[in-house]
Amino acid sequence: MMMMCHHFQQELAIACPAARDQSQYNQAWAMMCAFRALAILTWIAPNVLHTNRPWVDESWTSRHALLAAMTRLAEASNNIADLEPVHTAANLLTQAFQQRWLKFENPADIATQWPAFAA
């Protein structure tokens, strides 16, 4: 995820001067991750706790999506003062999901695959 974030920042910085400031960029990135994670929590039905369903396809499920979003949020919001409560919640949710769904203990199982970086 950090490689994608870095390349996104480089491209954004071409047209957006604020993206050149690492602190501003980190804060904005964390806010975007928070928005995305909270959106995912509203899109996926609570019954995912008991029943997993395909999200993108059979290999990327609702549980993958939840864990990826929460993990990304926890990482992005670390050391962002304005998001400290969100960071704590993301860590707690990630831990609770991983304890409930032991299949996802390995971080590689929920890592988003970015085709552009596979080459």
Helices (H) and strands (E) in the chain, counts: 5, 2
Measure the CA–CA gap between 63 and 51, rounded to whole angstroms: 9
- Residue 54, beta-bridge partner list: 61
Contact 100, 52 (CB under 8 A): no
Q: Say which residue, 75 or 60, is predicted with more confidence.
A: 75
DSSP strands (E only) in 1-119: 54-57, 60-61
pLDDT in tens, 19-73: 999 999 999 999 999 999 999 999 999 999 999 999 887 878 899 999 999 999 9
The answer to whether residue 113 scores a pLDDT higher than 70 is no
The answer to whether residue 117 scores a pLDDT higher than 60 is no
Q: Which two tokens stand for residue 84?
A: 């400290």
The answer to whether residue 111 scores a pLDDT higher than 80 is no
Entry pTM: 0.83
Measure the CA–CA gap between 13 and 26, rounded to whole angstroms: 13
